[in-house]
Structure 1
């Protein structure tokens, strides 16, 4: 079972050269903590304030692979706020604002000897969900290993008190009809949870691995104090695209795989879903999945002919670049998160451009700026970032202006050649300063 990037990436001489240049620049950059510096591509670099201990994706490390974060604010005591993260077969890991692990939740065991265990891919939050015991904040996770959602009530910031599992035992599979289908891994993948401002009802938008499918699920509390869901509707994003002058293009992938979606976020003010189709770009569509999707931006590799090579497990160029791609995103498109408070009150969409280790910022539907998370002292930067989460509310003395948490796909130095991943904590004030927006 692949861990970091389940789809082969298109390799080219230009891409390899750019990657080497980016790596060299990042290694050479070590500005003071919180400072910004401009790189060869004109993007500022911001430095992390803290980082979690690495997790390792092997039997010795518990098959943990850092993927996606969510930030929970403790309204009664903001200094005791938490960062809840999905680490796949490692379950959920919960950190305090110093990036120290304080809680852990194991993924569900395999239902049978031939079955895969639970595998938490993405995590998000629903605030004030009405349970039989009262309203509560709940962490929602997409469990790729069982094709279900998992729900954990957040009981506070006390160390050693893990979130309480409130998943209804009868919660259905989302996309598959049997355990045999689950084992084929075409299961729940990306996730965005939200509450409709008009109706007060809570939902999760879930994507399916290896396909273009996206499903809308309505969350429902039971009389027993648990949470389940029902499927409202499913849509499929495009898998093939018409080209100017005739013909069509589809992103390269393993045989039988379609260009999947993972990173997603909902702007509840406008009822808009932003969905990152990894090898295509960023879509926007109504959060209720009614209406036509529209491409906000495309990856640079859009339209480039490529063919899957079984021996290398990579997609190799099969023709000239027709120049149809965008200028800001390098496949894969990964973590998406929303930062309110742009010009005129418009929200800003932050997108992880995994292929070049940058983050693109969009405002009012257009590219506005970008940045990198770079090394400083003993803290390295963020490379091949999967998930990202931002919160612009005060988080006590450590982050009075808010916090950005990003996954780091290559924690340095790696231990004994094991794949090491983790999360970086970035002061949001430093991001705002790097983007040229000073707080009053």
Structure 2
């Protein structure tokens, strides 16, 4: 791991500076407090490692009114830890006033312990149902301290230094063009890429461009001028089943035509009738269709011989579903396609996992658009796009 460097101001130099300008060190004749030596409440500012961390951060962004008060009202409500936890011996807070945000500064005695505890925190959040937690991490690791800003632009400013974003969500991307370094804990990475949903994070150099946005190859982030950023593919149903194993529960798996054709009150597939008429070469069902209890966890796997035919039929079915109230039924599956494969699912959690594996959703809703940072590519049928953005289930991530 690249160790971050933090310049230190030696005490003898500071003492000489005070001798050279004694009045400035004492606050001057009017008793004014020198900048950075106290807090807004008049308390003495923290010294030692916290002050050194502040001096380092100030080279790249604003960090004013440093305080170590545990009850400072500026502390964010979702603060991760406190002094005495995660090996943190000291903790302070300063304000990035131009961005109207705060920066929490933590001094761990054992950086590996801190990273281990943060990883466990992320894993617990994911296990609790928040699968996107930590995708947009704001935990910035340096040599000897950790900075956790509350504003995206503050984080972007700080990664210009040797501070690195600690990310432990296994699905979090580090796009090409950004540094990717090993963390002290297996399963986590350090990078200078700041992810965000507000469009203020680091630019994703892999983000495609929408040629329709400005009449040329350069447009809003979202769609490539030509081709695709890449889609999932498999050479057989067995390969497809293996490919999606981390996202789709196929412990109950069947290719029996009668079983695959099942529909339930909770699960409506995209494909109905003869699969060959939809351009499919194979179809399977993952999940329990019925029996002693209600059907559950139904997802359909498709190998595709004619992707244009599949998308054309799926578009017609989607528009028919939208006709009544402009919304898709909650039980209706969405079609997520790859290069020569597809998955039909109405489970947002399953779709989230498939998006990480380069599947994209065929969206034919009139007027649909995707925010910057999401994929938006042309489909094989006019009036539809392929995307990983769902307005009802946007990918979100905290620290």
Same fold, judged at TM 0.5 (above): no
**Structure whose residues are more often strand by fraction:** 1
Structure scoring higher RCO (CA < 8 A, sep ≥ 6) equals 1
TM-score (norm 1): 0.21
* Larger-Rg structure: 2
